[in-house]
Every structure is written in structure tokens, then in C-alpha cells.
Structure 1
Amino acid sequence: YVTATNRNYIIDFNYIYLTSSTEQFAGVHLFISLQKTTQSPLVAAGLSCGLQRCFFSLIASISCSVKGLCTVTGPTVIDFRGQMNSVSDRCEYTLLQDQSTGLSLKANFMERRRRDVSFVDSVTLDFSQGDDIQLLQGHRVLVSSPVILSGSVQTFNGVGLSKDQTGVTANISLNGSPVSLFFDGTTAQIYMDVPVSYTFTGMCADSSSSSSSRLSSDSSCQQQYVDPADDTINITAVIEKCNILKSAPFSSCNIHVDPESYIIACTETLCKYPAVDGLRCQFLEAYAKALTHLFFSTDHPEPICQDKCSDHEFCGDIHGNTDCRCRAIYASEYTGQNRLGGPTVCKDNTASLTLVGCLLKENGIDYTHLHLNDKNCKGVMDPESHMLKFNFSSDSCGTDIMTKNSQVIFTNAVVTRNSSSDLISRQDKVFIEFSCSHPTPELQNGAFKIIDNWIMIFLESGEWHYSLTMKAYSDAAQTQLLGSNSDVRLNQKIWIVLETKRNEEVVSVVTDFCWATSGNSPSSSPRYDLITDGCANPADRTVHVMGNGQGTSNSFSFNMFEFSGKEPSEVYLHCQLQLCVKKNNSCERRRSLRYRRGAPALISMVWTP
């Protein structure tokens, strides 16, 4: 047992916490310094900055460790030794790896407003067995799927997870020593007891090991960008602001945590990147969090996006509000061409235009105020990607159609809603015109020929006998009869005349149904209706019926079509008719007409490609 000769220590079970510079127990001399001095064996071992502690066992063996801290803020990693290095790309790095337990703490870096400055964007606890745990932007956590956290601790794969208004904390035991990981979306900090003879690897163990700690297999993450210098940055003011870490109230803590690495990290970052999105406070808060017992509140809390930001976005300041901003590399594809989205996608007679939600926000545009030429045609916002998509066709949403140089062009535009009830507006007017062009169709490829000039059938109704004719014309005046040498082109309007030559003052011809088939049988399929119950098919606006039941002839018109399929097919037109006995110039009753062979009163005409 240990025999004490003075009161300069505290006994706590098997451990002795030294409170003076030297002590002697059982002939063992212990030398501990709370200052950074060249005599300290812990400093000589490469560890400093923190409360140093030795454990004394009953057999007088000594195990020494320090309260280690690794801080990752912006592009900078400040390791357990207080040394720093900065990440210059957008790759994933190992922060801490313990081979004995298979645990790796990894950090992924991404760009924000500038392409040439990276920021820690997420942290992953990677286990050799079990699901990884990802700490993401917006205080979000993934353990194979999103996890809803609160102030109480929830355990996943042996890791205690909790969340408060400042960020997410993960607690784990590593070789019997507690490890605490904190991440608020801008800064990650790892607290743990670090043995003097530690064997950990990664940038928290040695920040200069960035090359060996890089994990990303995709070499594109290493691509370097050079953006124009920001001439709004006052270098002198930056140095002065970052050096505040040496002034009160921070100066009283400099003895415990050396501020030099934090000052360098602050200066190097803010000399290239503007002090926005709470960035200047980020380095001050990172230093404050590094102190075991001292935390300083600021007037600029870290931005927290309540909604999930997409992969191409980050949480930042937009016109004084916290929201999802576009990452610089992603946005440069559009901003370099002064665009807010991608090109128009054209297909057949439809088109779509996609705008980038975060670019709209950054330009002060409320997407709910946007519509096409027809104000009822609005864009649809994808909740995951935050992309706003407009769709329209050549005959909808106020589309303009014109023909120019053998091209058919249909044009629309995204515009800002104009409300007469709005007295003032703080939004710029938006006018984004876009169009699709297609070659004028090769009409000769879609031409049909009528097989016969006209069709005649003989009908009987009781004692009356009639002849009924069906003729096709290319003009409304019914002067240009279509014959076997006439080409009928797709979408060309044609007129069909049905007529009888008997009892003009007694009987009227009523066309009840007309339909088209691809086969010669009236009952074959597919079937397309043109006239039903004596009226034009309301779904086909090209059909018009004239004079039906008013005399011995009637007519209708429609635009020529073909049945969809791999090969052009013939089009058979069938009409079913009735006789109407007239009384006072109106139909008294109807009697079914019949062929001489007793078949229904049908008459057909055929076009062939």
C-alpha cells in the first residue's frame, strides 16, 4: 500500500492524481509538469496541451496519458500534439485509426462558396463489424438509415449518440479509455486519454500524414482549382481578428491550450475565403470548445439548416437567413454561363426545363412565384435534389409555335408571377425563355392514298330503296375530290360527305357513328371513334360535324392520322347511318337502314400508306 508523507496528492481508489511538480512514492520519483517545459517526459514524448495524468499501481508500475484533443475546423486538422496541417482537396481522410479495435474515424472534405477551399463536411465512425455511423450537415445522423436524436443518449453499435442545439456528440470506449467525438457541421473535435506510447494512426495522431491518410479511391477529388482572389478581403483586418485568441477573455486560457495553431488556421482560411456563414466565429468557437471547462457563447451561432441539404449544397447564409447554398464546383457549371439551370430537354412535342433551387435562393428568387406563359403551369420542386422542373407540350402552357427554315419551333418562358394586389416587390423580375426545334416532318413519308374515288351502297327501308354515297374532299367547299392519285398527309384536314338521292323532302340522313380501324372489319381493333351518337368525339378537337339529320346529305371533317405501330397501316373509315322521316322540317322518328342482304347500314372507305 502507498504511504503518504504530505498532502499534495489526492487518493482515488487505485489512482493517484498528482497536484504538485514532484512526489516520491515507494522509492519511485514522479515528475509532472502542467506547463510546457523541456524537462517534462510527456512533452519529450511529443504530447502537450492538456491535463497530464499518471496511474500508479500496487507494483509501482506507471502508465501515463494526457487529455488529448484533435480539432478539425474548416480545412485544418490540429492533431493531439498541437501541430496543424490543412487539407487542400475534397477527399476523405482517416483522422484516427486503432488497429487493435478496428475503429476508424474518418472525415470527408467538400468545397463551399469557393472551389479552392475545402471544409470538413461529415464525419464517419467506421467499424470493422456493424453499421457505420455518419455525422452529417444539419445535425443529422445516419446509421444505415436516418436516426432521430434528442438530448437523451441513444446507443448504436456500442456508441452513445446525443444531440443538442450546438451539435451531435458520439461517445465510445477505445481500449478502456473514453473517446468523445463532437460535430456541429463546421468543426469536429475528438477528446480522449492519449497514452504516451500511443500507436494510433491518422491525421489526429500526426497531421502531416495527409498523403497516407487519404482514403478516397476516386482521384477526381484531388483535382485542384484556382479561383480569382477575393478583393473584398482585408488581410490586415483578418490577422487582427484571428489574433483575438491571444486577447481577453481567451488569453487566460492560453496556458492550457496553445492558440497558435488556431490562429494560423483562422488566418490562412480567412485570407482566401470571405468571413461569411459564421466562419470568423467558427475558429473562435473551436478554440473555446477545446478547453475542458471553458465555453464562450457568441452572437453568431453556427448555421443549422432544418431541412436536409442535398449533396451539391451546404448550410450557409443567404441574404441574412440560414439556408442551403450551392457548392462552388457544382454551381460553376451554371454560373460560368450566367444560367440558373440546365438546357432545355426536348422530346417529340414536349419539353422540360430544370432550374437549380439553391441558385434561385442565392439570387433572391422565390420559386413559388415562377410559372410558364400560362400562369397555371408551375414548376415542381423535387424534395430531395431541390431541383425545380417545368414541363410543357407544344399545345399547352401558352406555348408559341412557328416554322422557320424547315424547322418547327415551339417556345415558352419562365416568368415571375405578377399580382396586381402586390403594392411593392423585392424580387427581380424573371424572364427565362427557352425553346425546342424539330425538323419539319417529311410529309411525303406519311402520305395516304384513297383506294376509290367514292363509295356507294344500296339501302332499303320498308318499301323504299336508296343509294348512299361516301366521298372525301380536300377542301371545305367540297370541290376537290380525293381520288386514288391524291396524297392525304398526316394531320391534313379532310371532309367526308354522306349523301342519298331519294325523297329529299321526306327523309333525312342521320350519321350516328363513324370510327376508324386498322383492319377492314368494322369490329376489328384498334378502333378510334370520330362520331358517337351523332356528335363529334369531344376528345378529338379536329372533328367537326355539319348538317347531321337536316337533309339528304351531311358531312364531317377531321385531321388525317395513322395508327401507332412499327409499320404504317391502312386506315378504314366506317360510318353507321339511319333514315329520319321529316315532319315540320325536323326528324319525326328514325328507321334503321339495311343493306340489301340485311346487314346494318354501314359504309366504309379505306386509305393506304
Structure 2
Amino acid sequence: MPAMMALLQRLLGVVLVCGVCAQQYWRQPQKHPLTPTFQKPQQQSKVPPPAAPLHECVLEEAEKIQCGAPGITVDQCQDISCCFDGHLCYYGKAVTVQCTRDGQFVVVVAREATWPPLDVNSVSLLDPNEAFCGPVDGTSAFAIFQFPVTACGTTLKNDEGYVVYENHMVSSYEVGIGPKGSITRDSHFELLFQCRYLGTTVEGLVLEVNPVPPPMSVAAAGPLRVELRLGKGQCVSKGCLDDVAAYSSFYSSSDYPISKVLREPVYVEVRLLGRSDPNIVLNLERCWATSNPNPQSVPQWDLLVDGCPYPDDRYLTTVIPLDGSSGLEYPTHYKRFVSRMFSFVNSDTYAPQKDTVFIHCATAVCYPSRENSCEQQCHRQRRAAAEEVPPSHRLLVSSGKVILLKSTSHQKR
């Protein structure tokens, strides 16, 4: 990053002291547009900061950002809290605060400074009034800030002979608001940092790094909304695939009842509404049909069991796989399958008696973990026991009325 070279060359000889404290409040700093005044140096015993932990220094070559001037030694690199690989001094996967002798803050925030990883584009100073208070450079893995110690909402104070400049940095995060609480699944932190000047002595101090602990694998997420709808799209061009075109449009509530003939495909989609978490998975525990709107009524006929085609059906239901090529923003929030229209018959006489069908699906929202991938396996001889799902994560959805047409003159093939 050529734009940063002049700045980084000023960092040699800087002493960085790091510490962590457990404050959890937000404070709005006030501006003190003062020029730093340097006092006569005093003799002090300095303890060099420890080298960056080894795990913080494991980066791909393409991710390494130079820290310090070319030719820096390993001791000089460690003095400014950076990593050294034998020939290059670079920033580690942490939060690094440096202070230059000409009165500049340099703050480098790594994506992997928190877990889950932080969105570095969401990081900003708490009071970024000036245009130059945003990041001066960065990548998807790092955000780099550089600004004068007298700007961007920095506060000024004196502490045992030191002139102390202090600032505050935070990250934004998405909050889901429900009727009984709010949650977030994003990492964020608050960073309180200082530059301390005494004559020619410069110290950088991290007072607070306050990452939010990672969320639970299953958390109360407000009310879930799931919708079952039937596709009505048709192929109108050569080479079109029926299973793709059918889901290009759907019946609305005003279209019901709709009519089908025996063995005509019924294209079913079940989707999760109002969620933007790409990790959660919508699963179908069971889908079945009844002859009236009551899902508990009889007769019933299974379409899917544990998300898989009911094996005793001669015309097996077809599950349509969905992935990134489906064009859906969140493919794991959807399930699609195709069933063939049928008629219920009398259990005693085996004569057709019901000309209406309602489709129902019992759904479950799954949160992947190390122990559970949420994947529904349909080809095992013996299926694993299902993981217990909280009742709040289960919903039942149903279709409108589908009428069986008796005349074969309308049958689609």
C-alpha cells in the first residue's frame, strides 16, 4: 500500500504497551483541538512489549500488510506489536494501536480480532466529524485508520506528567427485534485507546477491547414466519425446464381454489420469511395431504417423511435440491418438492370419494453446529435420530384448496 509507506516509516522507535480492562459502558468523547506540548524527557525503566501471540501471526502471504519501514529488525518489529516472518514485519490478526512521534494515531483492526469474525467495514470512530477520520486504507481482512491525535473527537488530559490523547472506536452490528426481545448474531467491539507523550517518549496504550461473546448456537429469534405456496409458472421457450419454470411465479390467495387433474405435477415451495441469517436452515419434518383444511383429519397421505420422499408411494415425491446456482439469496431458507395429483378413496370400498386436497408441512428451523450439520440425509439405510428442536422453532403451514378435475380433456402431459 504505497500511500501508507511514509506513515509506516515514522513508526520506528515507538514503544507500545498493551493492556485490557473490563469496562462495558459507552462514552461520548468531547473535542479538545489542542496542539501537543512535550515536556523534558525523564529517565524511565521501559519493559518491551511481548511479541504477538503465534496464532495472531498466521496469515496468508496475500493478507500481510507491512508494519514499519523496510529493513526493520525483529526487535523493532516486536516493539510496535507486529509480527515478523524472517524478512517482513506485518500486522497480526488483532487490534494494533501505534503512535508516531509527530502526533499521529495509527489503529489497525483485523477481521479475526473477534469470533465470529468482525466486519471491518463496520468499524468507525465514535465521533468521526472530519472527513479524514475514516479508514485510510484496508482490505477484507484489515481496516487501517490514521489521524492526528488532536482530531476526530480525541480527548486530552494530563496523567503523572504525560500528555494523554484518548479516543474511542466501535463497530456497528445488525439487531433483530422481536416482540419479546432483541438479538444479534454479529461480532462487535468497543476499543478505548491512548497515545501518551512525555518529551521524546511515546507510548501507545490499549485500555479496552470489549468483544461481544459469540451468540449461542440456538437463540430466541423472535417469531418465525414460514409460508407454503404452489408454483404456477410454465415453460414458454425451447430448452426450458419445467421444474425451474414452475417456481418463477406462484398462486396467490385469491387464486384458490385451483384445479388439477390426476398425475398432474403440483409444485410446492416452503420458505422462511423475514430472515437474513445465511447460516440457518429450514427443514421439512413431514409433509402430507388431507381432504379438508384440518391437518389432523383423516384420510391422510404422506408426501415427505423426515424431509425425504414417502417410500410407499408409487409416484415418489421429488425433492428439488437448492444451492447457490438457484438464484435465491438464501437457498437454505427454502425447500421445494413436486408431487403428483391424486384422489382419496373410501377405505372400505376403495371407491374415489374425495375431490379436494390440502397440503400441509411441519417445518423446523435448524442452526448448524459442530455436532449437527442440519443436512437431511435421504439415502441412509438407517437414519440418525433427529436432534431435539425447540417448539418455538417448529411451525405448521398449509396450502389452499386444490380441486381434482374429473374430466381428462383438460389433462396436461
- Does TM, scored on the shorter chain, surpass 0.5? no
Greater RCO, 1 or 2 (C-alpha within 8 Å, sep 6+): 2
* TM-score, length-scaled by structure 2: 0.32
* TM-score, length-scaled by structure 1: 0.22
